[in-house]
Amino acid sequence: MTELLQQVRVIDPVSEIDGLFDVLIADGYIQAVASRISDISSNTQIRDCQGLVLGTGLVDLYSHSGEPGFEERETLLSLLQAAAAGGFTRINILPDTSPVIDNPALVAQLQQRRAEGQRGRGAEESLHSHSPLLPCSPAPLLHIWGAITLDVAGKQMTELADLASAGVVGFTDGKPLENLALVRGVLEYLQPLGKPVAFWPSDRQLAANGVMREGPDALRFGLPPIPASAETTAIAALLELVATIGTPVHIMRVSTSRSVELIASAKAAGLPITASTTWMHLLVDTKAVNSYNTSLHLDPPLGNPRDMAALRAGVRAGVIDAIAIDHTPYSYEEKVQAFAEAPGGAIGLELALPLLWQYLVETGEFTALELWRALSTSPAKCLRQKVSAIIPDQPAELTLFDPQQTWKVERKSLYTLSQNTPWLGQQLKGHVVQTWC
């Protein structure tokens, strides 16, 4: 199939391009990019794309799958559907399923399950063929993080080399690891394997039973606080180990202004680290918790306004390399309880791009290139994956986005099986039209 996208706004962080172009795509490859393309075959499908944005495919660093073990929250198929609907062409799932992804057999099982789900729809059926909003998008590439530890207490390493051979994208537990001797051992062991390793620094003793960032808002709302030092002391300890051992590390879920300062200093000193924050920490702060909406109960908790401003500045400056979605589905029953009792987390794959574009790009705080880089090419670099680009002779890994299309966030408009989002029932502006993968 050959198609010509006419006068689409091309955003390519690799080439630093943000401008209007014609883009010719044929047989899964980009054939040409030019201000105007007129030399086309008679069977070329021509699409008027004025007002639309064409960017490199979005890459999510880490999100949660309900399958296996919690299929009522999310299946692999619904996760992939939600990811494609949100513009993602690659998604990387965390290992905290049930059972935990800690052995090659389970990695192979999940890869097979994904392949069977694709074949089961039939070759002629697109991932979103029933959707009035998103025609003909292929499933994103699914990658799997392997667990670092075997047991709940986090004291015994998995067979990291075996998992690496099984094709995991990298290693993380997706939960705090407070045994620093184990962390040091992991960093030493992983050096020759060449796989990314990601840690979520958080001191659970300092965090205790807190559910909200320490400060005036936590006092006002009567919720148990978590001090910023629960994160920053853990980051400082991790950075010391990296400085000693030299193994590259990705720091997940950065949420405080002081953390941004520590990471900036470590990068300036030449430490081999990358970092990410989540999309909701860039859009919402502690003041929103006055609604007691349990979808605002996140882990780590939302920061105060100063934290949010520092995170935004950190992303723009490249101190925070990437924006992760950290899609965390929960059932209605799990979230309908007191704020402090509800599990932390919210969905986001279908919501992140429209909301980030609306509140960061359209307001002028971010350029389109800055946002797209943090959602696309930078996450790929953090994972040591090939970076996609919008240039001739490259595979078409692309996201077509309409920043003006409005839609309502409700059960029938979402592909995820869960609805734990504070934007449920609201009108949003911006929707993905199609992906190529």
8 Å CB contact between 177 and 241: no
Contact 392, 30 (CB under 8 A): yes
244 vs 397: CA distance, rounded Å:
38
**Annotated active-site residue in 173, 299, 326, 402:** 326
Q: Which amino acid is at 169?
A: V
- Can you tell me the distance from the alpha carbon of 170 to that of 163, in angstroms, rounded to the nearest whole number? 9
Q: What burial class does residue 35 get, using C-beta atoms within 10 Å of its C-beta: 0-12 exposed, 13-18 middle, 19+ buried? A: exposed
> Cα–Cα–Cα angle for 24, 26, 27, nearest 5°?
160
Contact present, 350 and 82 (Cβ < 8 Å): yes
What phi and psi values does residue 332 have, to the nearest 5 degrees?
-55, -45
* Cβ-proximal residues to 58 (8 Å cutoff; 6+ apart), any chain: 86, 87, 88, 89, 90, 353, 375, 376, 399
**Of 391, 344, 399, nearest in space to 59 by CA:** 399
Edge to edge, the sheet with strand 198-199 lists 198-199, 249-251, 273-278, 322-324
CA-to-CA dists, residue 87 to 54, 59, 325, angstroms = 10, 9, 12
Is residue 326 flagged as an active site residue? yes
Question: How far apart are alpha carbons 437 and 429 in whole angstroms?
Answer: 24
Q: Give the angle 68-70-73 at the CA atoms, nearest 5°.
A: 125
**H-only helix segments in 322-407:** 332-335, 352-356, 368-375, 377-382
Dist CA 234 CA 247 (whole Å): 17
Residue 363 CB neighbour total at 10 angstroms = 9
Task: Tell me the catalytic residues.
Answer: 326
